[in-house]
Each structure stands twice: as C-alpha cells, then as structure tokens.
Amino acid sequence: MKRFAALLAVALFGCVALSAQQFDITPAPAMVEVEDADGRVTMFDASREFKLYIAVECEDHERLTDAAYATGLDLKVVKKSAKRDYLNIVIDPSVEHGEGYILECAEGGINIKAATAAGVYYGLQSLRQLVEAHPNREWLKCRIEDYPRFEYRGVLIDISRHFRSVDFLKRQIDMMARMKMNRLHLHLTDAAGWRLEIESYPRLTSYAAWRTPHDWKGWWYGDRKFVEEGTEGASGGYLTKAEARELVAYAADRYITIIPEIEMPGHSDEVLAAYPELKCTHAPERQGDLCIGKEATFEMMQKILDEVIEIFPSEYIHIGGDEAGKGDWKLCEDCQRRMHEEGLESVDELQSYMIHRMEEYLNARGRQIIGWDEILEGGLAPNATVMSWRGEEGGLMAAEAGHKVVMSPHGYCYIDAPQDAPYSQPESIGGYLPLEKVYSYDPAPATMSEEVSKYILGVQANLWAEFIVEDSHYEHMLWPRAIAIAEIGWSQPKEKEFAHFRSRAVGIVDRMIEEGYSPFDLKNEIGNRPESLEDVEHLALGKSVTYLEPSRYYAPKYAAAWDATLTDGKRGTWTYADERWQGFLGRGGVDVIIDMGEVTDIHSISADFMQICGPGVFMPCLVEIAVSEDGETYTKIADIEYEVVLDELPSFKSFGWEGSTKARYIRYKAHRSKYTGFLFVDEIVVR
C-alpha cells in the first residue's frame, strides 16, 4: 500500500505521465494513461459487483468466462451490455496487434477489447493483477493499451532427466499464462528417459522410461542402465497419449501452445537401449547417436513423428539436433556408405542430411521444424527455425540467412544455474545467474539491423533438470527468472527498468508462495559475491604478469582480461563465466611471475580459487609461493597443501601467505589435483 500511495501522490499532485513500469502489471504494458479527457486523475472502485458481458464466439466463450472469474472480481453474467457496473469483453478487429488489448477502468465499469480471443485473455490477466495488487479493490482509473514485442515467449521444461506429473505441468502452465507467455517447449526425450507413449515402439516407455537409481546424477555416473516397467525400485514415468492430449487442451485454454521435442540424432541413449539395432555397426558399449546410415532409423523416427503430430497440433515440432558426438559415424560402415552414396564430405553434413529429411517429412504433413543451433552445421534445412543456445552467434547467422530464430543463449536464458549466493542454494549445474542478469537480456537490441531483427521470433528460458530431483526444487529454479523472460518477450525495451521490475516480481513471488508454489524467495536475496562489488586496491595492481609454460595457455573461452587479469583489481563473482575469473585447463596448473617493478616490502600474497564439481571446476591440491629480488634466484615462502574432495555445493577458498619479506618478483604456482578439470583464479592480491 505504501508504494500505491506514493504513485497516487505523484499522479494527483505531480506529473501524471505514469511509467508503465510503475504500474502493478507484469509484464509491463506498452502504455498506461491515468487521466481523463479533462486531465483529472481519480480512483476506480472495483469493490462492487460487475455485470459480465462477453461478445465472443462460442469456441472461446467458456475460456474467457473462466479467466474473467479468475480475476477475483464479483461478477454476474448477463446477455447484453450493461450501462453501468459493467465488465464488457468485446472482439474488435480494429485493435492493432493480434495479441494486443485495450483495458479501460472508467466511471461506469471496465471495458476490454482486442482483435483476438488471446488478446482478450491477456487483458484479463492484467485485470487480475490489478485486483491482486490492491486488496481494497481500489486503484487509479486507467486506460491501458498493450501488445507483445515478440510473438514467441516461451519456457522449456525438461521432463526427461526427472519425470514431472501432469498436475505439476498444469501448475506451471497456469503461471506462464498469468505472465502472458505462450509457448511451452516440452523436452520429452533425452538420454535419461523417454517420456511419451509411442504405440509403434512400446519399449520406449516399457523400458527406456524406467531406471534405478531415481536421481539423474546417480544414474549418469553409475551404470546408466534402464529396467523394465514394474521392476522393484524402478523410477521414471511417461505421459500417456491421453494425458498428453489433456495437457495440450489445458494449455490451449490458456492460449499456450505446447511444442514437443523429440531429440535426434544425439542424446538418444535411451532409444538405443530399447532398440539396439539402431546403433552404429562397430557397436561400442555406449552410444548416444542414432545411426544415420540405417534406413530403419528414418522409419522409426518418421513413425514416432506421425504419432507426435496426432497429439500436438503445434506448428513447430522440435527435433533437437544438439551435441551429437558424431565420432561413431566416422567408424560405422553404414554411415560411411550413406556419406559415399549421398556425396557427403563430413559428419556435419551427415547430420544435416538427417535434419533435411526430417524437415521434408514434417513439411509434407503441414508442420515446421525447429532445432538447436547445431542444425546450422553442415548446412541448414531450407525452412528450419533455429533456437540459438550456445550464444547469439548461431541465431544471428540464421537470421542473416533469412531463417526465423528463437533466442535462448545460455548466458542469460539457462536458468539451471544458481540465482543467488551458491552456498545458499540447492544443488545445480553451477555458475550464477541472478534475476538482474536475466532481465538485462535483449534478443533484438537497437544495434541489430531491422533486416535481421525481423526474423527474431522471440525468447525462451530453458530449465534443464539433471540436478533437480524434486518438484519444489524445479519451481525454485524456474520462478521468478521465467517472469523476467516473460517481460523481455512482451514489454518494449523503453519500458524496462530493473528496480521497478524487481519490486513487482517480489509481489508476484509472495503471492505464489501464498498459493503453494515454491519460487525463490526474492525479497531475501543475498546478492553477488561481496568481493566482486568493488575493485580491490593492492600493491600489484596493474603490474606485469608473465605466464610460464604450460599455464601460458589459459583457456581462451575463460581468458577474462587476458594477461592483465590477475592484477586488474577485478574480483570474481559467484560464476566463472563472468569474464573476471581466468580458467586453466590441461596438464598444467597456474604458474605466473608478477614483476612489482622494484624491490618492495611485502606482507601478504593471496589468490582465490573456486570449486564447482558438476562442470569440472576444482581447487588446487598445492600452492607454492616464491619471491626474488633479481628474477634469477627464488626463495620459497609458502607450500600450501589442500585435500581436494568432491562435494555438491560450490565453494571458494583463498590460498595465501602472510609474513614479512622484500621482493621485486613473485612466483605463484597452483597445482591441479587428481581430478581433471579447470582451475579458476581471479586476482593475485599483494599487500
């Protein structure tokens, strides 16, 4: 109420140009007016009973009636428009933008009009938020003109790694609808389990949907075996065709399209476990890629797709296409024969051959394919839409070639990373992706040419479930970051202001908790690593650093500020992907010499390292520190041993020396442990 009172004071006694960001609607609307024709700003009383009149075709009438009652207003259905105390809902073709709407809270009541039923539905979501934000049923009289920036506003939910029930999925659909999101990308198949009934290939669900142990991590790092349905202790599950159709209808009632994903040719371990005849001919113990040389592979995928398109009416069918190893194809007689017969010069072209065939098959049945940006490799199928995840480069390349693109870069949209101080969060893949960084993303910035930006369909958040066993954990990771994606996809860039958005998001999270959801409790956010908030002043700041072999070859992807990194004053955040931590990979560790420029009194030398076992980031097992006045003769002043053990939560540790010495040169050497992976260091601090 304090925030509302402040807004009212500004509106009544100051400037009435109220920012849409300051209004209690998320995503922020395109335009909000709070003054009438005479320039007055007054209050709207929503505590009365409203006469609900819906001038919409029968097909959508029930949907919109349910949405109107969900606003929480006191309603009475009438058969014609009332003159006062009305809630009139009208389809008006003159309203611009297919999903746009106009919402007016005026003296006589409420008008919502839109060109489509979906637009009306979104107007009702805005009305619902006004009611929720004002328990006294009173807010500023207003006229809201609103429409989405992008046509695609989506979330990926992974039910392969850990199966989720229909009821769970419906709860997320409900929340997506309230945030005006319109695409649910359902990741149905992956190495860890097949999750959709396919009558043509029953072992996909009678066998490849069940495993022990229940958790993905125990299975992945164990024997990766599947078991027969009904086996004692078996864990898993799948959507029956009836359940999938029920889910499709439930989403459609909320103007959300479900896009099914059937992974191919990679991430197909579960398919090959159930139907090993589709493995490549040289038959190693483990294979994850379908054999493209076998015609039986295409017969199977086509029959599967036939059943998928019977269930899912979506324009798009997602065919995956990511992270195929491709190594088996180089050794497979069938694949090599296929390459020779088709005149293919590389295994990239072999994958492209499969994607092309799948596209032709689906196009002939009135559908379009969408795939991860690896489908660009070897040549993109003519009509394919690209979902760009490894960054934005693939999406830009596809858009420049005239292909539609959904932006989903992992640095902003992969919400499987912790959203707060990692030590305070449940287990995850690692890194750090707070709400503010998600919100900062722009799929089509002003620097992008109009010729390219017109192919950007929208944006999607992806939540992979390798480390997310429980439903409550999944909701914790999904919300409120998916709310930020919703606003990115709907609101105009000029209406983005994080402080206002965060305030609204806190209110939404609190309501979600009251309703039984398990979102991240945003109002108690800890925030970024304290050391990263200000540059550190120390004696070695800006000093020259020499990288000795083999640490000279730090990983280019994690070069940070290159040779200036270790003395630039920048301390790392909670994630190694922040361009502050420098990553070292390979047989060497860290071995550098700092030139202080002159002999200097020194009393401490230290550097921070991190450990996140999931992506293979480990502490050093030994740190050696030595000093020299002439650069020739070094005296060791510290040998710091450390026992590196595997753990679940990210950790940070300083390895340093304190004492008294004089030196011009400092040699800092960190040895990697028995665990192969990265060493990450941010700054060598000398005092």
What residues act catalytically? 190, 267, 323
Nearest to 590 by CA among 475, 653, 683: 683
Distance separating the N- and C-terminal Cα atoms of the chain: 50
Phi, psi of 258 (to 5 degrees): -90, 125
Give CA–CA dist 131/441, Å, rounded.
30
Phi, psi of 30 (to 5 degrees): -70, -40
- Classified as helix, coil or strand, 423 is helix
Whether residue 678 contacts residue 581, with contact meaning beta carbons closer than 8 Å, is answered with no
How far apart, in Å, are the Cα atoms of 436 and each of 305, 456, 487, 488, 545?
Answer: 39, 22, 12, 12, 34
Crossing angle, helix 481-490 and helix 471-478, to 10 degrees? 40
Give CA–CA dist 289/279, Å, rounded.
8
**In 70-165, which ranges are continuous DSSP H helix?**
117-133
As to burial, measured by CB atoms within 10 angstroms (0-12 exposed, 13-18 middle, 19+ buried), residue 95 is buried
- Please name the residues in contact with 264: beta carbons below 8 A apart, sequence gap of 6 or more: 290, 301, 319, 320, 321, 354, 358
CA dihedral 23, 26, 29, 35 (to 10 degrees): -20
- Classified as helix, coil or strand, 21 is helix
Question: Cα Rg for the chain, rounded, in angstroms?
Answer: 29
Whether residue 585 contacts residue 677, with contact meaning beta carbons closer than 8 Å, is answered with yes
Residue linked to tokens 């500023």: 140
